[in-house]
Amino acid sequence: MRFLQFLHRARQEFEKKWNNKIETDVQWSDFDVKRTLGTGSFGRVMLARYKPTKSKKFYAIKVLDKKQIIKQKQVPHLLNEKKILECVQFPFLVRQSFAFKDNSYCYIGLEFVAGGEMFHHLQEAKKFDEPQTRFYASQVLLAFEYMHYMDLIYRDLKPENLLIDHKGYVKVTDFGFCKRVTGRAWTMCGTPAYLAPEIILSKGYSKAVDWWSYGVLCYEMAAGHPPFMAKKHMDMYEKIVQGDYQCPDHFSKELRDLVTNLLQVDVTRRFGALRRGVQDIKNHMFFAPVDYIATYQKKLKAPLVPEVKGEGDDGNFEKYDEDPLPMDKKCLYEEEFKDF
């Protein structure tokens, strides 16, 4: 009941932000750039310190190439991502601090989460034991409950999009495929191994696709690999639409039952999409040891606390080639990006 009251207040705050444009007065020259943290189709994420203040505040800044965004027809997705990041506020979601643009790029400044990607830690560990899987899964569960209450479908859950903070807690990042939907969505998007059957079959879909991907995540954290694996995407998709997978022998009956109820090809039988909604998952026997209030307040001891030596420590991120950022002399696509 307490969490439901929080969600109701959070929804009111979300709506206020959603209906107002938020301006920030910063520019690229205000930052001392340290290095690249990651790369993508439209640009890169860079670690940078804000120079005008005396504090050593670091940010992860998404530097998005206007030319690439136009070429791949992603302007609506970018504007949508910025809008959502401006409005969400939850312990297990990354926060946006500012956004701006110049002649060549659009910039989204996010809090720097120093522990690195869950993907990296999962690779090192090979697989997580069930208490560690439960610890992370409970946080993603609360994050999805919050997002769905705001009418947001995330659509891109995977270990690469989960960061671990300096206390060992999860932060969901990369809202490029996230969308506010009150009815159904139709866009084919997401990561192949995590796609729900209804997306692959080009059916209209709802928030239930997030609970499918959540089941895939729970499986992958505990097994060390996703449930549906094949060399070719079409073979993988065939397995997904048939629900063709096997749980490892070491899965407990509780975890096995949770995964079985989440990876339901028939949406009308999938946990999270039934009459009781998210409560079917929160009250599942796998999560019996979880104190959701203590989890939300980050009062529990994390099973893995990344080594972070101080503000701006980038040791938990891969190294990348540092190519220069070319800047055009005139403003590109001014009309197309006027709402950014």
Rounded (10°) CA dihedral 148, 127, 197, 153:
20
Contact of 235 with 244, CB cutoff 8 Å: no
Which residues on adjacent β-strands are paired with residue 36?
46
Q: Which of 65, 156, 165, 280 is catalytic?
A: 156
Q: What span, in angstroms and rounded, lies between the C-alpha atoms of 144 and 212?
A: 12
Give DSSP secondary structure letters for 121-138: HHHHHSS--HHHHHHHHH
Q: What span, in angstroms and rounded, lies between the C-alpha atoms of 296 and 146?
A: 11
Q: In what order do the strands lie in the sheet with 43-50?
A: 31-39, 43-50, 58-65, 105-111, 96-101
The count of C-alpha atoms lying within 13 angstroms of the C-alpha of 123, restricted to the half-sphere facing its C-beta, is 8
Closest CA to 318 of 39, 22, 127: 39
Residue 156 designated active-site: yes
Q: What span, in angstroms and rounded, lies between the C-alpha atoms of 165 and 259?
A: 26
Contact of 116 with 38, CB cutoff 8 Å: no
Helix (H, G, I), strand (E, B) or coil at 281: helix
For residue 148, give both structure tokens. Answer: 């769905």
Q: What span, in angstroms and rounded, lies between the C-alpha atoms of 134 and 129?
A: 9
Active site amino acids: 156
